[in-house]
Amino acid sequence: MFRNLVLILAFSSTIFAQGLFESYSSTLEDISGNIATIQNSDSLVIGSSGVIIHRFDDEKNTIIARASVIEKSEDKAKVRFEVFDLLEQSALPLPGIYPEKGDTIILNYLYDRSLIVAPNQTVFKEITEHFSSTTWVHPDLMGAYLATEYRPNPRRSEFSKLCQDNSAGIIFFALNRKGYVADCQSFKVLKTFDSGPIAEYQVPFYTRVRGIETAFWKWGTSQISDYNRHYENLLAY
């Protein structure tokens, strides 16, 4: 199964013993349009996402935007501003404030909480037990949501909604001979791991929720015929 993954990670840096990612905080420096420069860090990879926090005074601050790392150099990194999705609801209007120099940026935001797509219970346990400091959203919650949506072949939009509802920042996809960690919203692959072959598959993924059915009135709902191909296509650009 995924035993090769565990052996590889046993010799990795201490960041993996602590979790998949470390949160990183910096301040916005030069800003041009929707691009800003910040201090670089080994904790960042291209595609890492986070939030911009604007402070009004010593007691009041708020999240005003999302940001993603688009470029890294020796000591600097560039981030692109985006709408903060969690504020996109009628009861909580978007703040009319734009990021400015000196605002705080927190990257790898919510990367300590992850969805997991595993082909069977054995692989699920191997991954979650190894990355024990990561808070894993149980796949039963994911399965229950897909059952109510009649969506046995989850798309990016279903995963993004599940991340938003469960305050998760990343998704771990365990595929044959490869593991992928992707950002919840952009689906940018942040890390990959070599692993072993998988012999048993449950679709759409390991969950104790059975009978995720299709619906004739919902276009595009069908059972997954090839687990690896389905998720490879989701991760493709």
In this predicted structure, the answer to whether residue 180 has a pLDDT above a threshold of 90 is: yes
Among 83, 107, 131, the domain boundary falls at 107
Q: Looking at the whole model, is its pTM more than 0.85?
A: yes
Query: pLDDT class for 161, splitting at 50, 70, 90?
Result: very high
pLDDT per residue as tens digits for the range 60-90: 889 999 999 999 998 999 999 988 765 454 4
Rounded Cα distance, 129 and 178, in Å: 18
Structural domain containing residue 94: 24-107
pLDDT per residue as tens digits for the range 29-44: 999 999 999 999 999 9
Among 107, 139, 173, the domain boundary falls at 107
In this predicted structure, the answer to whether residue 92 has a pLDDT above a threshold of 80 is: no
- 117 and 30 assigned to the same domain: no
- 69 and 14 assigned to the same domain: no
Rounded Cα distance, 187 and 54, in Å: 26
Among 85, 107, 129, the domain boundary falls at 107
Here the CATH number for the domain that contains residue 60 is 2.40.10.410
Domains identified in the chain, total number = 2
Position 7 scores a pLDDT of 35
CA 172 to chain centre: 8
Residues in the chain: 237
CB count within 10 Å of CB 137 equals: 18
Rounded Cα distance, 4 and 40, in Å: 32
- 228 and 165 assigned to the same domain: yes
Phi, psi of 230 (to 5 degrees): -60, -50
- 71 and 152 assigned to the same domain: no
